[in-house]
Structure 1
Amino acid sequence: MKAYSQDFRERVLRAVDLGRPRAEIVQLFGISLATLKRYSKQQREKGHVRPRAIPGRLPKKQAQLEAGLTPQLQEHNDATLEHHCAMWEQTHGERVSRWTMSRAIKRLGWTRKKSRSGQWSAMRKSEPPGERRREAFQRMHWCFLMKPAPILP
């Protein structure tokens, strides 16, 4: 859930400063009493009501991966995620999971599309002798493509 804007937080505290009852402020702004108390405490102790940073570890591989991945994608756009991970480990000496690679490719704006450039292969349907055989079909595989930039008016 996204944090309330700083402007909204300041308007809530302005209503408190004007002497309005807390129950009325909670009803008017659609916030909980605990949120109102937290804003008041933060204003009193820190002097501001800016939203706090979302907790969690900072990404370690993201910046390096996104910086060096584009040339690899352009050169090997038909490689699978596993192949991209193996190529990255071979060239950079750092192991990357399939999921990390997938998120990095998505952040760079590349999409996965089916490609019909695979080889033809014949498949036999398991049918009694003398029956019609299944026609050969073209095998599909995935490739990565760069999304076109949106056209702005």
Structure 2
Amino acid sequence: MRPYSEDLRERVIAACAEDGRSVGAVAAQFRVSVSFVHKLRRRQRTTGSLAALPHRGGPAPLLDAAARAALAACVARQPDATLDELRSQLAAGGAPAAGRTTVWQALQTLDLRRKKRASTPPSATPTG
């Protein structure tokens, strides 16, 4: 989610400065939440700035570099392994217990495609 623009922040604070305007009325006028207006006014009082805080990056990945390297080795050994098989191989190697989604996201991060066995024989007709 992107932060609100500086222009909107300035207009909200200017509207709050008008006499007789409630926080709820300002929030309704600009279609923002009441808590946003409260937080914006508090930030202006404490820091003097209306700028948005920088993005903090989110939580750290569960599988560290060593676990991702082990995952890549597992896929190299057995390219048609299912996500559950990869999870069990990682757990046997000492990596933290990870869910299917975590393993799938780590595969995407490593840009590894799980190569499944072909379910049908190749076509005898040449493509060309």
Report the TM-score, using the length of structure 1 for normalisation: 0.50
What is the CA-CA distance between 1:47 and the residue it aligns to?
A: 4.0
CA 14–98 in structure 1, closer or farther in 2 if over 3 Å, else same: closer
Unaligned runs of 5+ in 2: 121-128
1:31 aligns with: 32
- Give the structure with the higher percent helix: 2
Q: Flag the structure with higher strand content.
A: 1
Q: RMSD between aligned alpha carbons?
A: 3.6
Per the TM alignment, residue 45 of structure 1 is displaced from its structure 2 partner at its CA by 1.8
**Map of 1:12 onto structure 2:** 8
Amino acid in structure 2 at the alignment position of 1:4: P
SS, match of residue 110 in structure 1: coil
Aligned residue in 1 for 2:125? none
| 8 Å CA contact 2:87, 2:98 repeated in 1 | yes
Q: Which has the larger radius of gyration?
A: 1
Q: Which runs of structure 1 show a deviation greater than 6 angstroms over 4 or more consecutive aligned residues?
A: none
Q: Is the 8 A contact 1:85 1:97 kept in 2?
A: yes
- Find the aligned partners of 1:62 and 1:87 in 2 and give their Cα distance: 13
Q: How far is 1:31 from its partner?
A: 1.3
**Percentage of identical aligned residues:** 21
> Residue 89 of structure 2 aligns with which residue?
87
Does the 8 A contact of 1:3 with 1:51 survive in 2?
no
Aligned partner of 1:109 in structure 2 is 111
Deviations 1:38-72 (A, max 9, x none): 11112222444434767x8x446322333442233
Report the TM-score when normalising by structure 2: 0.57
